[in-house]
Amino acid sequence: MSVFDYDLFVIGGGSGGVRAARIAASEGGAHVGLAEEYRLGGTCVIRGCVPKKLMVFASEFPQMVRDARAYGWDIAPPVANWDAFQTNLKAELDRLEAAYRATLKGVDVQVYPQRARLVDAHRVALDDGQIITAAHILVATGGRPFVPDIEGAELGVTSNEVFHLSAVPKRVLVVGGGFIASEFASIFNGLGAVVTLAYRGDAILRGFDREATAHVASAMQARGVTVLTGCDVTKLQKTATGVQALFATDVGLEADLVLFATGRVPNSQDLGLEALGVGLGAGGEVLVDGFSQTSIPSIFAVGDVTDRVSLTPVAIREGHAFADTIFLGKSRQMDYENIPSAIFTQPEMGTVGLTEEQAIKRGDIAIYSTQFRPMRSMFAGQDEKVLFKLVVCATSDKVLGCHIVGPQAGEMIQLVAIAVKMGATKAQFDSTVAVHPTMSEELVTLRKPTRILPKSQ
């Protein structure tokens, strides 16, 4: 009989924590407890990727209606019912949370709806005063939005609050230049707001392929988003008609809504980690090894709280690998190479593997890139182009990266990622028969490189 209350106790009911708990209990036979102070599902399900993607869908319908007219459909100008959308959104999130709860109940994971803090290597204290012991403790508390320390910051909102707006604002200022900022700028633009995106860097979507992100930025501006780079917001102040944002250049801009999308930080505060001597990085991230183990052998961490690769599917894989290793006897580490991702801007971007900037530092490369107007939107009279780009090793012919900007780029990149993960060569891409007429056939018809670049020093 175990001397502990649980074989595993998980702090955090998001995607990574729930996956670890489920696998440990259902496949590893572990007795598992889990504490979640807010709602099961975590950031992704409750106030992240899922509600955001539904808002993306909602914001795309006006353009669909405009396109439909070009195809001969007699459709009246669309009128959005925001209350109806919010009602349906809440119902969907409730459904997903209930599904998470049912999943954990089905494998006998005991859920504690309250905050938990570490007492020592094997004890956890709940807010109600209860002390729980566990052989292994997994910290999976995710991250939270970062808000810059400026005067009047409380007048803005973050991605936590943006899903609960009572109405679509007419004027929106998005502060930031990452994928969350760019996505919400596109969403509100699609919903009919006048949108300005202010970013202190020289180009949005830093860290992604520069040619692809420049294409996204140009298309966003053509759709009506004002993109201000080199622009640092230094102060917010209330006015009679909205919120005034002041920039470092002393220029001001008034908006009905200011959204801070200035990055996220690990949710590691007030968990008792520092007192126990668990190693933390400069940004508060929990430091772990390849098996997600901290400096204390019985304490592990997965997901955004470790700030390795902050993506929901990565957190899920990390949680699964942890459970396999500890409770199923399958020693396994997460593989971080060639992780695909999608940025749900309008137009959408999908990416996997190395950017041109990363690849050229490793060796000589060949770039295959094309831009064109796709059949569907060209017929509707749209000028917007899509971009397809392959980054190829000039010596081995291996495809090192793929970057797509256009409709359904996220769906396409998931399939391309399989080939890139398998180490496919450009010759193998070329030997694949095209599906015609599609946008994606360009992936296998790019015969000549647009440029060949030597390794940079």
Q: Pull the structure tokens for residue 119.
A: 């007492």
| For residue 122, pLDDT beyond 80 | yes
Residues of the chain with CATH 3.30.390.30: 341-453
pLDDT at 252: 87
Q: Pull the structure tokens for residue 338.
A: 């060639």
Q: Pull the structure tokens for residue 52.
A: 């955001």
Taking only the tens place, the pLDDT of each residue in 310-330 is: 999 999 999 999 999 999 999
Backbone angles phi, psi at 105, to 5 degrees: -65, -35
227: Cβ contacts below 8 Å, ≥ 6 apart: 185, 197, 199, 204, 217, 220, 221
Residues of the chain with CATH 3.50.50.60: 6-144+265-327, 153-262
Taking only the tens place, the pLDDT of each residue in 442-457 is: 999 999 999 999 998 6
| For residue 218, pLDDT beyond 90 | yes
R_g (Cα) of the chain, nearest Å: 24
| For residue 160, pLDDT beyond 70 | yes
Q: Pull the structure tokens for residue 127.
A: 């807010």
SS3 146: coil
The mean pLDDT of 199-228, rounded to a whole number, is 96
The mean pLDDT of 32-45, rounded to a whole number, is 92
| For residue 172, pLDDT beyond 90 | yes
2 — pLDDT class (breaks 50, 70, 90): confident
pLDDT at 283: 93
How far is it, in rounded angstroms, from Cα 127 to Cα 139?
16
The mean pLDDT of 144-154, rounded to a whole number, is 95
Output the pTM of the full model: 0.94
What is the DSSP secondary-structure string of 168-199? --SEEEEE--SHHHHHHHHHHHHTT-EEEEEE
43 — pLDDT class (breaks 50, 70, 90): confident
The mean pLDDT of 333-360, rounded to a whole number, is 97
Q: Pull the structure tokens for residue 421.
A: 């993960």
The mean pLDDT of 363-371, rounded to a whole number, is 97
Which helix or strand (DSSP H or E) is residue 134 part of? Answer: strand 131-139
Taking only the tens place, the pLDDT of each residue in 264-298 is: 999 999 999 999 999 999 999 999 999 999 999 99
pLDDT at 457: 65
Q: Which CATH class is domain 153-262?
A: alpha beta
End-to-end CA distance of the chain: 61
CA atoms lying within 13 Å on the CB side of residue 172? 32
249 — pLDDT class (breaks 50, 70, 90): confident
Catalytic residues: 436
CATH topology of domain 341-453: Enolase-like; domain 1 (3.30.390)
What separation in angstroms does the CA of 146 have from each of 180, 205, 264, 295, 453? 12, 17, 5, 26, 38
pLDDT at 329: 93
CATH topology of domain 6-144+265-327: FAD/NAD(P)-binding domain (3.50.50)
The mean pLDDT of 91-95, rounded to a whole number, is 94
pLDDT at 42: 87
| For residue 417, pLDDT beyond 70 | yes
Q: Please, what is the Cα angle at 103 between 98 and 107, to 5 degrees?
A: 145
pLDDT at 254: 95
| For residue 1, pLDDT beyond 90 | no
Neighbour count for residue 457 (Cβ, 10 Å): 4
Judge contact between 13 and 100, C-beta under 8 A.
Answer: yes
